[in-house]
Structure 1
Amino acid sequence: MTSAISVEDRCLDAFNTLKRSRHVTTVLYRLSDDLDTLALDFEGNLTHDELLKALPSDPCLVAYELCFADRDGSRHEAILLISWSPRGTSAEQGAAQAACYAALRNQLDGVDLFIEAASQSDLEYHHLVQAARM
């Protein structure tokens, strides 16, 4: 693994599509096998439950538009950037994942909430909504 992580242009393009389109709510990013490039893995419209089922057993990053109703019934959206590092992630994968997460945090404009998750319980809907309301 090299010390610098490159982010493919398609990753940034997919995030910008998520920000402006109702047809894209989820973007999954994956690390290349040599752990030096972040690539686009999936771009589409997933519900929260579908997102949880789509999470791989390997680390990845996810941009996700969380939709929820506030206590007064008004509809809200929050764009999340999720660092998914499931238990069993190697130290090398973890270091590359952290570098990618930092790189995306600096390049993506419009993220409302940054989440680090190691299990699906970290991504329960009510936890995410509670964090987005703060």
Structure 2
Amino acid sequence: MTSAIAVEDRCLDAFNNLKRSRHVTTVLYRLNDSLDTLTVDFEGNLTHDELLKFLPPAPRFVAYELCFADRDGSRKEVIVLISWSPRGSSAEQGTAQAACYAALRNQLDGIDLSIEAASQSDLEYNHLAQAARM
């Protein structure tokens, strides 16, 4: 693994599409097998429940538009960047994931909330909505 991880232009394009389009609420990113390049793994429209079912047992990054009701009852939308590192990932994957997460957060303009998750309980809807309200 090299010390610098490349981010394909398509990753930034997919994120910008998420910000602009009502038809895209979710972008999954993954590191390639060499752990030196970040690529788009999925781009589409998933509900929160579908997202949880769609997450693989391997590390991913997820840009997700979370919709929820604010304390005053108004509808809010925030973009959440999730670092998904399920238990059982290798140490090398974990190191690459951590390095890439910081770089990705800096490149994606418009992230409202960043979450690191190792289990699906870390991504429960109410947990994310509560964190977004703060």
TM-score normalised by structure 1 residue count: 0.98
* RMSD between superposed Cα atoms in Å: 0.6
Correspondence list, 1:73-112, <5 A: 73-112=73-112
Correspondence list, 1:6-85, <5 A: 6-85=6-85
Flag as ranges the 4+ runs of structure 1 deviating above 4 A.
Answer: none
Q: Deviations over 1:63-88 (max 9, x none)?
A: 00000112332100010000000000
Within 2, Cα distance between the matches of 1:55 and 1:116?
14
Within 2, Cα distance between the matches of 1:67 and 1:75?
7
Q: Deviations over 1:49-71 (max 9, x none)?
A: 00001101110100000001123
Within 2, Cα distance between the matches of 1:71 and 1:99?
35
Within 2, Cα distance between the matches of 1:88 and 1:48?
24
- Partner SS, residue 115 of structure 1: strand
One-letter amino acid of the counterpart of residue 96, structure 1: A
2:110 equivalent to 1:132: no
**Amino-acid identity (%):** 85
Specify every segment of 5 or more residues in structure 2 that has no aligned partner in the other structure, as ranges.
none
CA drift at 1:100? 1.2
Specify every segment of 5 or more residues in structure 1 that has no aligned partner in the other structure, as ranges.
none
- Partner SS, residue 11 of structure 1: helix
One-letter amino acid of the counterpart of residue 97, structure 1: Q
